[in-house]
Structure 1
Amino acid sequence: MRAAAATPLLLALLATALPLSPAASAAPAADATPAKSIADVTRNLQSQPGFIDVWRDTGKGRVLLSVATLEQPFLLVSSLPYALGSNDVGLDRAQPGEMRMVHFEKHGARLFLVQENTNYVANSADRDERAAVRESFSNSVLWSGDILASDKDRHLVDFSGFLLADRHGIAARLAGTKQGAYAIDPARSAVLAAEAKAFPDNVELEALLTFAGPGQAEFVKQVGADPASLSMRQRISMVRLPAADAWRPRAYHPYSGGFDASYFDFATPLSSSIDVHWQVRHKLEKTDPSAAVSTVKKPIVYYVDRGAPEPVRSALIEGASWWAKAFEKAGFKDAYRVELLPEGVDALDIRYNVITWVHRATRGWSYGNALTDPRTGQILRGAVTLGSQRVRQDILIAEALLAPYGKSSGSDKQKLAEQMALARLRQLAAHEVGHTLGFAHNFAASRMGNGSVMDYPHPILKLNAQGEVDISNAYGVGVGPWDDYIVKYIYGDFGGGAQEQAALARLRAEAGAAGMLYSSDQDDRTPGASHPDGLLWDFGPDTLKTWDQLGAVRQRALQTFSPDVLPDARQIGELEARLVPVYLLQRYQGEAVARLIGGGDFDYTSAGDVKAGIARAGVKATPPEVQRQALNRLTDSLRAEYLALPANVLDILTPPAAGHERNREYFATRMDSVFDAFSIAEAAAGHAASFLLDAGRINRVAWQHARDSKQPGVQEVLAQTLQKTWKRDAVPSSVIGGEAVQLASNWVVADSLLRLLDGGQLHPQVAAEVRQSVRELAQWLQKNPGKGVTADSRRQAAEHISAYLSDPRTVKLRPAPTAPPGAPI
């Protein structure tokens, strides 16, 4: 069909609706204002020349940037000079954000800031090949602004709009932690123009951001001056990219013990993987590459926050300095050091590696961030955050174990408590700095004693010859053999190419032959994790021996628990908070014992190392006799003899005094303000049951037994669990409140079994075994009613289980009991 001819009226309408083409547009009027130069716009403004020239307009509260290079990538990262102060929300002082690679583009009369998609690249000399990948995946425009003036290829923009936006994700973090919907209030936010700084390789810009929100949630109410109005500062750092040809990246290996930077490279040969991984590390170059040990062109220097008080400051410097010996063993002399941050230096300046002492309302995690070049893994800055209240928790644990405040105790025990806390702080400083050097956790290093500062260390506790708790050597000193290995592997200079790869293979072989085990976060943090060596907060080469050792310490500490665990000035209600780490002293070793049940260890390695005999493939199951010993110990912790408190503890526990209140460091109570002996037993039993009756563990037990009938099966695990709880003999009368405590544990086990069935994570055939065991339990309870309160619980439990098995939808399952936080210790 032919198109209809345009009528005169339609042509007239089009002429009014559409802009004229440039060729047809009218010429500018003769008296039009000529375009301003950058000098015109910036007259009377303070100049900050640097990587990107900055002008401070303090009168109007603006920051202007003069952009000279377009399409040239650089790095951009946010951080928080002033923060929220809540460990639970996680917006900490000096916290860095995500490192992004960005560039400026010009479109018309505007500049655009574009984030490049560094996940998908083509590292090719062919321009078209690179373009094909770039055009296949989306970039992100982060900001645009009008060009205020131009001088040839240099363009001036007001960057204030970018600075006043939430670039750190503060609102998202508040929402994600259920603190409510917060948004920036522009009227109460401002660009801090006087804080703007420019240097040859970086620009530092800052803004005050005020977030308005409901102010009703727990964590913001805890820390906010006005929880409906949260004011923080946001730093934006713009950083010149390192020269690509001045850095030789090292291929990442799973057994390196380090982190990796990765992306998909579509320009790799067809026989190679497009999934490329580089070792994350600082740039470290010898002044004499041919020398076995040499000084370096530029040492790695870390600076400790001036806000850290003594004796904390000295402990941080000492602990963080431990890495110097490992670098020297790797061939680098005077290559690493730690100093106090010079007075007046901006601690958030991207050029400085800083260890920041951070205060929060509650104790919480410390962490280390390595800010890296996404193209190569080169670390550009190390940023360590150390929570100030953790050291106080170590003192609390030591005091609860030693009871040092009695009339006959003397000052030696008090000094021991502080020494233990400072020893832990040294180790913590080394640990978090290790992350910023590119090193990952190794939770298997505790099998080698003080094998690595990159493990999570439990204090090494024992009884001395007099039967007293001994904490004199609670934490190790210095880095361990694993740490020497990872420094040499990740930083050692081996010449590159095939020579380098051969040297690295030899290092891996030597480490494996020395028995250096490696297991990290992805395999060690879930309740059902299988690796029997990858354990957080454990110690010693033998899990069962350490369990017994800690059990003896726990028993002694409970027997001697008294008001002497508190300084005289503390309110007596705090006794209960001091009881928590003593009563739950074996909580982490209990997880270690559970790992042996359905346990299996394996190596992080490569196919080449397996073929070369350096490492092995597959998962090796824990021997059956070890699994049964572990099962026996873990189920014993569900018995009243383990869970009940002695009279000397029960008789002194007092509610918090006026002006004080219970918090998360206390056990839960359903008895108003009074200590609840039921809740404490439920918390401990629930902790053991959460590991023992985890779906992943039960599935593994079923498979291991199916493959090898000598291994314990699901029925054996459940039978022993029930034999120690619901089906046990009467509790001895010497156990105070023994029958009631045992019933509390029994109900935790029953509820855990039903949640195990209800979770939907068991394989059908495994669920059938569990269901049958639970059905048989209900039948046993009906046939063995018992007497008194035991009879009441058995009858109710039988009805509860039967109702669930008949129709799960009709039964509301109780949640797992909670324990006060243990980690971080």
Structure 2
Amino acid sequence: MSSVAVTANAQSASGQVSAPAASMALPSFASQLAGFKKNPGFFDVYTHHDHGKLYLAVPEQQGAFILFSSLPQALGSNDIGLDRGQAGASKLVHFERHGKRLFLIQENTRFIATSDSTDESASVREAFAGAVLWAGDILATENQQFLVDFSSFLLSDRHGVIDSLSRSRQGNYTVDEKRSAVLTQQAKSFPDNTELEAMLNFAGSGEGQFVRQVAADPKSLRMHQHISMVRLPQHYQTRTYHPFSGGFDNEVMDFGTPLADSIVTRLQVRHRLEKVDPNAAVSAVKKPIVYYLDRGTPEPVRSALLDGARWWSSAFEKAGFKDAYRVELLPEGVDPMDVRYNTIMWVHRATRGWSYGNAITDPRTGEIIKGTVTLGSQRVRQDILIAESLLAPYGKMSAADKKKAAEQMALARLRQLAAHEVGHTLGIAHNFAPSRLGNGSVMDYPHPMLSLNAKGEPQVNDAYGVGVGPWDDFVIQHLYGTFPGQDEQQALAQLRIKAKAAGLQYVGDADSRPVASMHPNGLLWDYGADSLKTFDQLMAIRRYALDHFSLAALPAQRQLGELEARLVPVYLLHRYQTEAVARLIGGGEYEYGLAQDANEGRVQPGIKTVPAQTQRAALQKLLSSVRAEQLALPASLIDALTPQSEGYERTPEYFSSRMSVAFDAFSAVEAAAAQTSLFLFDAARFNRLAWQQAREPQQLSVEEVLQQSFANTWKRDAIASKVLAGEAVQLAANWVVLDATLSMLDSGRLHPQVQAQVRQQLQELAIWLQKNPSKGAQAGSRQQAAELITRYLRDPSSVKLRGLPPIPPGAPI
């Protein structure tokens, strides 16, 4: 399907509105439009400000068009996910007349038939349900147009606000039409798009935690909903999606494909970018891709975001497009919801949260018609917090250079973030492997590249890379590049060969985010080519930061209780490298590609298991993180931690506490031990270990993992006295390890033979604990642990297992 020109009505119903019968004569437009103002354009729009009405003139031959919603004014809650500037999914719709009423129909674009036979295409269309989005009476007819009152559509929840509130357990809300209004003054219509807006008031119980956190009145949520109606793009050249392209795909089931072909077809998602001279290797473009930054973005953030978003210009230049990509400040007075503008929105929320890059696409072809970037304004504060916690620039003698370094680190992260989210709106997916190459791609999640200076102190001067990486250059070339005089598919195959030869790898979301992931290079927030080496480096930085942690990490105007919030990212500094190390255990590498790629030697099929020696080294690193020597905190640090001042309270950014207002060192230790246990004691990982060892006896086994885990926790010798509260700290970690093992066993996800191995090791641990009762607090824990294991193995239903302790959020950074 490469290079297929798609016209306006391809792959969709005609959507034409039939003319009214002579016996059903309707009034003229003039009789209905007294006092209305006309806005001519794609749809002629008539508004009456005093009556708050909006009428739409729908041509008989209108055909299908694209419709989507967005939120010019939103809720401000990261947890609910209704952000200012957020765009909804695009829909292919058409108007349809039945009797004296007009219906707005959403077509089902997931199922099509690419065929010369109209009957074959119709058979698929008729097999799958579409949707009626709205219906209204025809008020008048004139010049082959129907006039309808479209106000009721605008006053309904087209964005799914009610569903979002329900999903986030904020209660049941409805649109209160008496307290909602069509914003007639916001209605605009242009040759290829019509933009409409309404103020919606959502009425509900107001009992949800998140709405109470952000709303002026949680029982009355005022938001603005914008509706964009867009002419279908024509003559767009599609490109077939390839699994190694690094891009997003537009997936449909095409019942018109030959019987031997896959019924699922995928097209590359990308902007339209056409050279003035299609035969030239380098050419100017007919219409550049332009992004506009939110005017509400303050300095120095504004300059950082403009700089970062502009990084992509070099990739387009390398791909042969001259002056094809620009980033500018949104012109004054321009509506950022207007579909004609790709936008980068600086969005405020009550709490720290994720940023997003979304693309509004033509559902038929995958052509991007608008890119919308949402950047959460509070993320930058987390980077400053991390940097200040490591550098400790405050205190009796503040260090101006350290404060400046912290700010520069945060701005460097913002540049990378802007490039990352814009990359999504250019059609590019995450790739979590390029961190192995340093600044390999802005589409990875970057951990700050920390190091120790000559004095042994943490430094953050080069925490983030500058510019897009080699993977990004490759993806832009693969998505947008043209190949004059060459077969496109062959040229793209050669491009992938060169990328692989340069050491570029691709590991996407599905193989990186789950706890059970096995690819050792598909890692979020890691850094460094060698996970084991970087783990040691990060632990050394962490140890220095903890040993020197003090009030110097807290700005002078902050209340004392906030010092604990700054301890959290330092104490858990190794959280992402811990996951990277765990990924080596039961891990294996594999590639994305097609059968043709494997047959022609471009891709190696199968899984390459991580070597046994590496897996054993990873296990030892991982288990070192649950030993008291790493988990204990210095006395000077604990003595500096103060309860919250009056009027302040703990948030999820703190460690949980079972000690009332006091810092709970046990909870901190448990959180760190849980971070390790979460990834190590995973059922899928243990199942893989069992299979790898069954196939290759020298590989790490289930028994060895559990034996080593218990040897480094429950079976440890006495802890050195120099480790503050060493025995108590180790016991806290021991219980987390045991609880995680029992939870894994209880999950029902272990194969029976693997379950038997785990049960056997637990039984042997119980016997050992009974034979080695120790004394003091350790004696009580050993006795209770032995009894818990014995009871559970005898009758699992008689034991209520504990879940893993809560871990304060780390991402996003």
Structure 1 residue identity aligned to 2:791: A
Structure 2 residue identity aligned to 1:512: K
Deviates more, 1:331-340 or 1:59-68: 59-68
Cα distance, 1:271 vs structure 2 = 2.2
Cα distance, 1:408 vs structure 2 = 3.9
- 1:330-360 deviation per Cα after TM superposition (whole angstroms, max 9, x unaligned): 0001000100000000011011000000000
- 1:452-478 deviation per Cα after TM superposition (whole angstroms, max 9, x unaligned): 000000000011111011111000000
Cα distance, 1:799 vs structure 2 = 1.4
2:280 and 2:484 in contact (8 A); partners too: no
Alpha-carbon distance in 1 for matches of 2:806, 2:140: 62
Q: Which of residues 610, 616, 626 in structure 1 aligns to 2:598?
A: 610
Partner of 1:540: 528
Alpha-carbon distance in 1 for matches of 2:370, 2:602: 34
1:70 and 1:106 in contact (8 A); partners too: no
Partner of 1:696: 684
Partner of 1:815: 803
Partner of 2:319: 330
Cα distance, 1:312 vs structure 2 = 0.4
Q: Secondary structure at the match of 1:205?
A: strand
Q: Secondary structure at the match of 1:80?
A: strand
Task: Kindly name which structure, 1 or 2, has the bigger radius of gyration based on alpha carbons.
Answer: 1
Alpha-carbon distance in 1 for matches of 2:567, 2:754: 39
Partner of 1:418: 407
Partner of 1:23: none
Alpha-carbon distance in 1 for matches of 2:464, 2:389: 17
Partner of 1:36: 27
Give the alignment of 1:420-439 within 5 angstroms. Answer: 420-439=409-428
- In the alignment, structure 1 residue 99 sits paired with structure 2 residue 90: yes
2:742 and 2:801 in contact (8 A); partners too: yes
Structure 2 residue identity aligned to 1:474: A
Partner of 1:744: 732
Q: Which of residues 557, 564, 571 in structure 2 aligns to 1:583?
A: 571
- 1:666-685 deviation per Cα after TM superposition (whole angstroms, max 9, x unaligned): 11000111100000000000
Partner of 1:482: 471
Cα distance, 1:152 vs structure 2 = 4.8
Alpha-carbon distance in 2 for matches of 1:762, 1:228: 47
Cα distance, 1:592 vs structure 2 = 0.1
Structure 2 residue identity aligned to 1:662: R
Structure 2 residue identity aligned to 1:653: L
Deviates more, 1:504-513 or 1:759-768: 759-768
Deviates more, 1:677-686 or 1:728-737: 728-737
TM-score (norm 1): 0.95
Q: Secondary structure at the match of 1:179?
A: coil
Q: Secondary structure at the match of 2:127?
A: coil
Alpha-carbon distance in 2 for matches of 1:68, 1:690: 59
1:512 and 1:615 in contact (8 A); partners too: no
2:76 and 2:82 in contact (8 A); partners too: yes
- In the alignment, structure 1 residue 255 sits paired with structure 2 residue 248: no
Alpha-carbon distance in 2 for matches of 1:307, 1:69: 42
2:345 and 2:373 in contact (8 A); partners too: yes
Q: Which of residues 383, 403, 409 in structure 2 aligns to 1:394?
A: 383
Q: Which of residues 520, 527, 530 in structure 1 aligns to 2:515?
A: 527
Q: Which of residues 227, 230, 242 in structure 2 aligns to 1:239?
A: 230
1:600 and 1:621 in contact (8 A); partners too: yes
- In the alignment, structure 1 residue 339 sits paired with structure 2 residue 325: no
Cα distance, 1:495 vs structure 2 = 4.3
Q: Secondary structure at the match of 2:148?
A: strand
- Structure 1 alignment gaps of length 5 or more: 1-26
Cα distance, 1:730 vs structure 2 = 1.2
Q: Which of residues 540, 561, 584 in structure 1 aligns to 2:549?
A: 561
Partner of 1:8: none
- Structure 2 alignment gaps of length 5 or more: 1-21
- 1:4-50 deviation per Cα after TM superposition (whole angstroms, max 9, x unaligned): xxxxxxxxxxxxxxxxxxxxxxx99xxxx973101221122010111
Q: Which of residues 451, 459, 462 in structure 2 aligns to 1:470?
A: 459
Q: Secondary structure at the match of 1:731?
A: coil
2:585 and 2:685 in contact (8 A); partners too: yes
Give the alignment of 1:282-321 within 5 angstroms. Answer: 282-321=271-310
2:390 and 2:570 in contact (8 A); partners too: yes
Q: Secondary structure at the match of 1:795?
A: helix
Partner of 2:6: none
Q: Which of residues 392, 395, 398 in structure 2 aligns to 1:406?
A: 395
Q: Which of residues 120, 134, 140 in structure 1 aligns to 2:111?
A: 120
- 1:679-733 deviation per Cα after TM superposition (whole angstroms, max 9, x unaligned): 0000000110000001111111111111101110101111111111111111111
Q: Which of residues 690, 694, 714 in structure 1 aligns to 2:702?
A: 714
- 1:614-643 deviation per Cα after TM superposition (whole angstroms, max 9, x unaligned): 111101100000000000010111111111
- In the alignment, structure 1 residue 668 sits paired with structure 2 residue 659: no
2:448 and 2:464 in contact (8 A); partners too: yes
2:623 and 2:712 in contact (8 A); partners too: yes
Deviates more, 1:344-353 or 1:800-809: 800-809
- 1:735-758 deviation per Cα after TM superposition (whole angstroms, max 9, x unaligned): 111111111111111111111011
Partner of 1:507: 495
Q: Secondary structure at the match of 1:135?
A: helix
Q: Which of residues 177, 194, 198 in structure 2 aligns to 1:207?
A: 198
2:431 and 2:507 in contact (8 A); partners too: yes
Alpha-carbon distance in 1 for matches of 2:26, 2:40: 23
Q: Secondary structure at the match of 1:380?
A: strand
- 1:490-547 deviation per Cα after TM superposition (whole angstroms, max 9, x unaligned): 1001249x71111100000000111101101011001110000000001111000100
2:242 and 2:593 in contact (8 A); partners too: yes
TM-score (norm 2): 0.96
Partner of 2:773: 785
Partner of 2:39: 48
Q: Secondary structure at the match of 2:72?
A: coil
Alpha-carbon distance in 2 for matches of 1:706, 1:69: 69
Cα distance, 1:71 vs structure 2 = 6.7
1:64 and 1:156 in contact (8 A); partners too: yes
Partner of 2:18: none
Alpha-carbon distance in 2 for matches of 1:807, 1:34: 79
Q: Percent identity?
A: 63
Alpha-carbon distance in 2 for matches of 1:638, 1:611: 46
Partner of 2:212: 221
Partner of 2:359: 370
Partner of 1:264: 253
Q: Which consecutive segments of 4 or more residues in structure 1 shift more than 4 A?
A: none
Partner of 2:717: 729
Q: Secondary structure at the match of 1:780?
A: helix
- In the alignment, structure 1 residue 774 sits paired with structure 2 residue 762: yes
Q: Secondary structure at the match of 2:417?
A: helix
Structure 2 residue identity aligned to 1:304: L
Partner of 2:123: 132
Q: Secondary structure at the match of 1:81?
A: strand
- 1:256-303 deviation per Cα after TM superposition (whole angstroms, max 9, x unaligned): 010000101111122221211001110001111122111100000000
- In the alignment, structure 1 residue 757 sits paired with structure 2 residue 745: yes
- 1:52-104 deviation per Cα after TM superposition (whole angstroms, max 9, x unaligned): 11111222211110000457111111111111101011000010111110000
- In the alignment, structure 1 residue 172 sits paired with structure 2 residue 172: no
Partner of 1:623: 611
Q: Which of residues 71, 75, 90 in structure 1 aligns to 2:81?
A: 90
Partner of 1:163: 154
Taking only aligned residues, the RMSD between alpha carbons, in angstroms, comes to: 1.3
Q: Secondary structure at the match of 1:651?
A: helix
Q: Secondary structure at the match of 1:343?
A: coil
Q: Which of residues 72, 97, 100 in structure 2 aligns to 1:109?
A: 100
Structure 2 residue identity aligned to 1:796: Q
- 1:586-614 deviation per Cα after TM superposition (whole angstroms, max 9, x unaligned): 00000000000000110011111111111
Alpha-carbon distance in 1 for matches of 2:709, 2:783: 19
Partner of 1:80: 71
1:70 and 1:104 in contact (8 A); partners too: no
- In the alignment, structure 1 residue 641 sits paired with structure 2 residue 629: yes
1:190 and 1:207 in contact (8 A); partners too: yes
Alpha-carbon distance in 1 for matches of 2:636, 2:519: 39
Cα distance, 1:374 vs structure 2 = 1.3
Structure 1 residue identity aligned to 2:589: D
